[in-house]
Amino acid sequence: MSKQRLVIIGNGMAPGRMLEHLFDLTDAYEVTIFNAEPRVNYDRIMLSPVLSGEKSYADIIIHGEGWYEEHGITLHKGEKVVTIDRVERKVTSDKGTVVSYDKLVIATGSNPFIIPVPGHTLPGVLAYRDLDDTEGMIAASAKGGHAVVIGGGLLGLEAAAGLKMRGMDVTVLHLMPSLMERQLDEAAGYLLQKELEGRGIKVKCRANTKAILGTDKVEGVELEDGTVLPADLVVMAVGIRPNAGIAKDAGLEVNRGIVTDATMKTSDPDIYSVGECTEVGGMVYGLVAPLYDMAKIAAHALAGEATAGFKHQETPTKLKVTGVSLYSVGDFGEGEGREDIVLRDAARGSYKRVILQDNKIIGVVLYGDVADGGWYNEMLKAGKDVSEMRETLIFGQAHQGGGSFDPVAAAAALPDDAEICGCNGICKGTIVQAINDKGLSSLSEVRTHTKASASCGTCANSVENLIKAVLGDAFQQKAEGMCGCTPLGHGEVRRVIKAKELKSIPAVMQELEWSTPEGCAKCRPALNYYLISDWPGEYEDHQQSRFINERVHANIQKDGTYSVVPRMFGGLTTVEELRAIADVAEKYEIPTIKVTGGQRIDLLGVKKEDLLDVWSDLGDAGMISGAAYSKGLRTVKTCVGKEWCRFGTQDSTGLGVKLEKLLWGSWSPAKLKLAVTGCPRNCAESTCKDIGIICVDSGYQIVYGGAAGLHIQGTTELGTVKTEEEVLEVVGALTQMYREQGFYLERIYKWADRVGYDHIKSVILDNLEERRAYYERFLFSQKFAQVDPWAEFVSGKHAHEFHPMADLKLEAAE
The answer to whether 91 and 81 are in contact (CB under 8 A) is yes
Q: Which residues contact 307 (CB under 8 A, 6 or more apart)?
A: 263, 297, 300, 301
Angle between helices 154-165 and 186-198 (to 10 degrees): 10
Residue type, 428: K
Question: 601: helix, coil or strand?
Answer: strand
CA distance linking residue 172 with residue 788, whole number of Å: 49
SS3 723: coil
Q: Do 369 and 344 meet the contact criterion of CB atoms below 8 Å apart? A: no
456 is in an annotated binding site: no
Q: How far apart are CA 559 and CA 714, in angstroms?
A: 34
**SS3 state of residue 198:** helix
| Residue 409 to residue 62: CA distance in whole angstroms | 33
Rounded Cα–Cα distance for residues 151 and 247 (Å) = 29
In sign, the C-alpha dihedral spanning 99, 100, 101, 106 is: positive
Q: Does the annotation place 683 within a ligand binding site?
A: yes
Which residue, among 813, 691, 799, 796, has the nearest Cα to 749 in the 3D structure?
A: 691
CB under 8 Å to 764, separation ≥6 — which residues?
Answer: 718, 730, 733, 734, 737, 770, 771, 774
Closest CA to 744 of 662, 671, 656: 671
- CA angle (625 as vertex; 621, 627 as ends), nearest 5: 165
Distance CA 149, CA 172 (A): 5
Alpha-carbon span 500 to 230, nearest angstrom: 26
> In Å, how far are 138, 212, 231, 336 from 143, measured between CA atoms?
9, 20, 12, 53
CB atoms within 10 A of CB 107: 29
Residue type, 612: L
The DSSP string of 633-665 is EEEEEE--GGGT-TT--S-HHHHHHHHHHHHTT
Contact 534, 497 (CB under 8 A): yes
* Annotated binding residue 645: yes
Nearest to 434 by CA among 402, 477, 463: 463
Q: Which residues are annotated as a binding site for [4Fe-4S] cluster?
A: 639, 645, 679, 683
Residues making up the binding site for siroheme? 683
